[in-house]
Amino acid sequence: MHISDLLTNSSVVVPLISSNKEDIIKELIKAVPFDRSYAKEEAVIAAVLEREKVTSTGIGEGIAIPHAKCDIKEELAIAMGISIKPVDFTSIDGNPAQIFFMLLSRKDVSGLHIKTLARIAKLVRLDKFKENVLKCKNSHEVIELFRKEESQLP
Can you tell me the distance from the alpha carbon of 97 to that of 131, in angstroms, rounded to the nearest whole number? 13
Helix axes 127-135, 111-124, angle to 10 degrees: 90
140 among known catalytic residues:
no
- Annotated catalytic residue: which of 2, 67, 113, 140? 67
13 and 82 Cβ atoms separated by less than 8 Å: yes
- Report, as residue numbers or ranges, the catalytic residues: 67
